[in-house]
Structure 1
C-alpha cells in the first residue's frame, strides 16, 4: 500500500464490479469508503425505480465487506450538466452519449471533488474495466510524468471509450482495481467472498433515467413534437412522415408502410425537420470515410506528430462493440479546435453527437465529439470530382466536411 494513499472512496453502483473493487482495496489494506451516487430521481410508469434497487445492492455489498456506506446526491448537477445537454442535442438532431457525459461531469468531476474535499479521500476507485499507467492502485504514480489511460485486459469489457473525456487531474488519483482482470475472474472473486447474489445479478443496460420506458415516450415528456418528412435520397420524393428529428439517428431503420424495401436514416436536418432516408441497410449513402470532430480532449497530452506536423495516424472507435479502425487525424493550421478524421476504410452510420475515441496501441489518447460527416459514397458516386486532400502537402486544401 502506498504511504501517500490510505483512504480510498470506492464508487458503489450496486453491481458486482464495484463490489469486487472494494473487496480488493480492503485486501490491500486501504481504508475503504463505499459511496453510492444518486444522479436521477424518477420512476417509470410501472412505479419501478432502478436507483432504489441499486442502492439496496450497494448497501448489501458495503455491509458484507464491513465498510461504511455513504450516499451522495448529484441530481441537480446531473440535471444541469448532463441531462439538459442531452435534451438540447436530441432537439438538434444529434445523438449524444450519456455515459461519456456522466463520467466527464459527474463521476470524475463532482463526485471526485466531493470525496476528496468532504470525505478526505486520498484517491477514488471505480469498477470500470480500464487500466492506468500508474498501476491498478497508483503504485507507480509519478505526477511529473502524468498518467495515461490504457485499455483493460478484458477487451470485451473494456470501458475506456466511456472514460475518454476524463481529466488528467482525476486520472492521477483514480484506481482501477479490475483493469488487469477478466469479468469471469471478477465473478469468481465475488462468489469466493460470499457475494453470490451480486455475481448472479443481471448487468444494468441502457440509460439510467429512462428505466423500462420506451425511448420515444420518454423524450415526448421533454421535447415538443415537430412533425417532418422522410425524403428518399435517390428520388427526392416524400416517402413518409415523422414526429420530430429527436426520435431518429443515422443508420436507424424507418418502418414505413407500403414500401417495396426498408428505408434507413442517411442524414438529419433539424432546421427543416427533414430526414433523408436511403433504401437498404447497406446503401452507399450510409457510408463515408471522413468526418469532423472537436474540440479534442487529450487525456495525457496532444500526440507528438499532431503537434509537430498537424497529422497523426492512430485508431478510432465510436461504438463499444465496433472494431478499432485505422485513421489519420489532421489538425487545421488556422487554430480551430477541431480535427478532420480520414478513415482508412469506409464506415457505416457515423453519427454527429457521438464521440470518436482515439487510440495508439493500448493507450486511449482521448476523444472528440463528431460535428459533421464528409460526403457519403453515394455523394461521391454522383460527384466524382470531389477531392479534399493534397497528399504531398501535409495541409488540408479543401475540406469535404
Structure 2
C-alpha cells in the first residue's frame, strides 16, 4: 500500500467489489480540476481525507472555529488544533483557511442544548453541529465563495454517500449509508444532514478501515498520524471542566429535588436523597447514592429509571438490568427525512415485513428491528412517529436522536419524545 499515492489508494478502495453496496454505484469521486474543500478538524481522519486530494490543483482545507473560552485549557486546545491543521496543510502543500462560526454555533446548537437540559431531557449537540454548522453554515459560506453546486465538500466522517443505480425510468438518487468499517461508523451523527448536501459531499473514510487510515497517514508522514481520536462533546472534550455536568453548571441554574423509589406493586413512594438538577442525570445512568445495603431489598447498584419534570424528581431502580429500564416503543418528534417524506414512508411500509427497517437510539449500538411504524398527528397539528421494536431496549433517553435505517441506508431521524412498553403480537 505504501507504493500508492493517497488518491490512487482511495480510488482502489472505492472500486473494490467487496466494499460495494448492492443497488448502488461505486463511490463517485471529484475530478482533477474540481473545487475541493476539505473540512479539517486536525484529526487523522480529516488529515488523510485532505491527503487524498492534495495533488488536485483546486484543493484546499478549511478549519471551523466554533467555540472560544478565554484563558482556558479548551482555548489552548483550539489553538493546537489550528496549528496542527496548518502543519498538515504545509506538509501536503495545500492552502488552509480558518473560519469563525461561533455565533452560529451558540444560537443554533449551544442555546438549544441548554434549553433541552433545563427541560430535563438529554440532547445530542454533535448531531446539531453537523446539521446546522458543518453542513449548514459552512455550506452557505462555500456557496458564496465558489457558487452553489460548484465545489465538493470533503469530510473525515466514516459514512458513505452513494448514488443508486439508474432504474428503468432512468432516474437515480443520492443516499447516505453506513460506513464499510462498522466499528467507526458515524452515520448516526449525520442523520440530520440535509438531502441537498449529498450530491456534492465526498466521504472517503466510508470505504476505508481505521487501520488503513492510520497506515496511509504513516506512509506519507502526516504530522497527525499518531494523534488520538477525539472523544465526547466538541466544546467539553479535553477541557479543564472534565465532565459535562461540571461544564453545564456554569450555564444552567441548579434546581434541587428529591431522589425517590416507587414500589412497582403498591406504588409506595420513598425519598432517599436529593439531586442538584435533572440535567445532571440521564435515563439508565448509575446513581451514586447511599442505600441500606444490609437490607436485601436495597442491596446493589441503583440507576435512573425516570426524570419527572413536573415534580422535579429522579426515580431510581435497583439493578442495571431492571425491567423498568427496558422499553419496546419509542415516539419521535421533529422527524427529518433524508429524501422526500412520502418516499421515506413508502420505503418503511414496503420493508417493515422483511425486517429491513432498523433503528438506533445511540451511536454504534446493535441495530434493532422495527415491527411497526405509525405516523400520528397531535391535536396541535404536530407530527409524531411511533416505532414499536422487536426487542426491548435499555435506557432510551428522551432528547436523544433516533435514526431510522433501511438496511445500510439512513432514512432520517427524529428526537425521542417518550418511550414506553406496549403489548406486541409478533
TM category (shorter chain) comes to 0.7 to 0.9
Cα pair distance change 1:144/1:31, threshold 3 Å: farther
SS at match of 1:323: coil
- Give the whole-Å Cα distance in 2 for the aligned partners of 1:305 and 1:169: 15
Determine which of 183, 205, 208 is the counterpart of 2:234.
Answer: 208
Q: Post-superposition shift, 1:48?
A: 5.7
Shift in alpha-carbon separation, 1:76–1:268, aligned structure 2, 3 A? same
Residue 159 of structure 2 contacts residue 179 of structure 2 at CA under 8 Å; is this kept in 1?
Answer: yes
Deviation at 1:308, TM superposition (A): 8.8
Once the 2 structures are TM-superposed, how far is the Cα of residue 302 of structure 1 from its aligned partner?
Answer: 3.5
Q: For structure 1, which segment, 366-375 or 100-109, has the greater mean C-alpha deviation from structure 2 after superposition? A: 366-375
Distance 2:289 2:312 in 1: 17
Q: Using the TM superposition, give the Cα deviation of residue 209 of structure 1 relative to its aligned residue in structure 2, in angstroms.
A: 1.6
Bigger drift between 114-123 and 34-43 goes to 114-123
**1:329 corresponds to:** 373
CA distance in 1, matches of 2:350, 2:415: 18
Contact 1:98 1:207 in 2 (8 A): yes
Output the TM-score relative to the length of structure 1. 0.86
Please say if residues 150 and 363 of structure 1, whose CA atoms lie closer than 8 Å, have aligned partners that are also in contact. Answer: yes
Cα distance per residue 1:211-250 (max 9 Å; x no partner): 2413222111101110001110224111111011010100
1:138 corresponds to which residue? none
Question: In structure 2, do the counterparts of structure 1 residues 363 and 119 end up closer, same or farther at CA, with 3 Å as the change threshold?
Answer: same
CA contact (8 A) 1:305 1:311 kept: no
CA deviation after TM superposition for structure 1 residue 298, in Å: 1.2
* Count of residue correspondences: 371
State how far apart, in whole Å, the 2-side matches of 1:47 and 1:113 are: 27
2:363 aligned partner: 320
Where do 5+ consecutive residues of structure 2 fail to align?
1-28, 165-169, 294-299
Contact 1:16 1:190 in 2 (8 A): yes
Separation (CA, whole Å) in 1 of partners of 2:208 and 2:62:
23
Correspondence 1:296 to 2:335: yes
Counterpart in the other structure of 1:220: 249
The residue that corresponds to 2:281 in the other structure is 248
Per-residue CA deviation, residues 141-184 of structure 1 (Å, 9 max, x unaligned), is: xx963310011111111110000000011112211122111111
Contact in 2 for aligned 1:291/1:373 (Cα 8 Å): yes
Alignment pair present for 1:161 and 2:188:
yes
Deviates more, 1:213-222 or 1:65-74: 213-222
Structure 1 portions without partners, runs of 5+: 136-142, 376-385, 393-401
Superposition RMSD in Å: 2.5
The answer to whether the Cα contact below 8 Å between 2:344 and 2:411 also exists between their aligned partners in 1 is no
- Contact 2:65–2:100 (CA<8 Å) still a contact in 1? yes
Rate the CA distance shift 1:79–1:333 in 2: closer, same or farther, 3 A. Answer: closer
Determine whether 1:33 maps to 2:60. yes
The one-character-per-residue Cα deviations of 1:25-83 (angstroms, maximum 9, x if unpaired) are 234x3511110000000158657632111111111111111111100000000000000
Distance 1:333 1:205 in 2: 38
Q: Shift in Å at residue 323 of structure 1?
A: 0.3
The aligned runs of 1:126-165 (5 Å cut-off) are 126-134=155-163, 145-165=172-192
